[in-house]
């Protein structure tokens, strides 16, 4: 009797978690395409931004910061009133839907999902290379004005 209830409890929990995962916004299916279009030009090794978002492993620790910055419309940055305005043309703001997708992804636990859902990589070569992403700011980077 005791064993039966334990089993049904476990089965119940398993069904529940499968359902939750199936309903989730996932990194590979929903978030990676947004990162490719709006973030990876800067957020990859050797570029302007201090952290890389090419892979799930690199992106996951930043999930809370990403949610905060995109919801506050601070990322992607907007350099419209600076000499960096050409950047603006290549980095249009996220749509409301894209922001909602990222917020939901983080709220649901920032799950990876199925790598088979991923779009083709945009920067495959650099993605294979590990670099120290926390090096001191370069002279070029120091010229970027802070955004508020």
- What is the Cα–Cα distance from 122 to 92, expressed in whole angstroms? 18
Cα–Cα–Cα angle for 94, 103, 41, rounded to 5 degrees: 40
Q: Which is nearer to ligand HEC, 136 or 146 (CB)?
A: 146
CA distances in angstroms from 132 to 58, 86, 135, listed in the order given: 12, 28, 6
User: Which one, 29 or 91, has the nearer CB to ligand HEC?
Assistant: 91
Beta carbon nearer to ligand HEC, 21 or 69:
69
Nearest distance from C-beta of residue 5 to ligand HEC, angstroms: 45
Closer by beta carbon to ligand HEC, 9 or else 131: 131
At closest approach, how far in Å is the CB of 51 from ligand HEC?
5
Q: Which of 107, 76, 104 is nearest to 89 (CA)?
A: 76
Q: How many CB atoms lie within 10 A of CB 12?
A: 10
Give the shortest CB-145-to-ligand HEC separation in angstroms. Answer: 9
Rg (CA), the chain: 19
Binding site for ligand HEC (CB under 6 A): 38-39, 41-43, 48-51, 62, 65-66, 69-70, 75-77, 87, 91, 94, 144, 146
């Amino acid at each position: 009797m005791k064993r039966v209830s334990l089993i049904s409890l476990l089965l119940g929990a398993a069904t529940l978690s499968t359902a939750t995962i199936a309903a989730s916004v996932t990194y590979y299916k929903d978030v990676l395409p947004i990162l490719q279009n709006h973030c990876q030009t800067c957020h990859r090794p050797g570029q302007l931004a201090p952290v890389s978002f090419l892979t799930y492993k690199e992106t996951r620790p930043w999930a809370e910061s990403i949610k905060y910055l995109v919801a506050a419309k601070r990322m992607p940055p907007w350099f419209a009133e600076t000499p960096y305005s050409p950047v603006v043309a290549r980095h249009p703001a996220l749509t409301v839907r894209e922001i909602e997708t990222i917020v939901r992804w983080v709220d649901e636990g920032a799950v990876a999902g199925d790598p088979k859902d991923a779009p083709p990589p945009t920067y495959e070569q650099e993605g294979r290379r590990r670099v120290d992403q926390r090096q001191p700011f370069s002279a070029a980077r120091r010229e970027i004005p802070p955004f508020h």
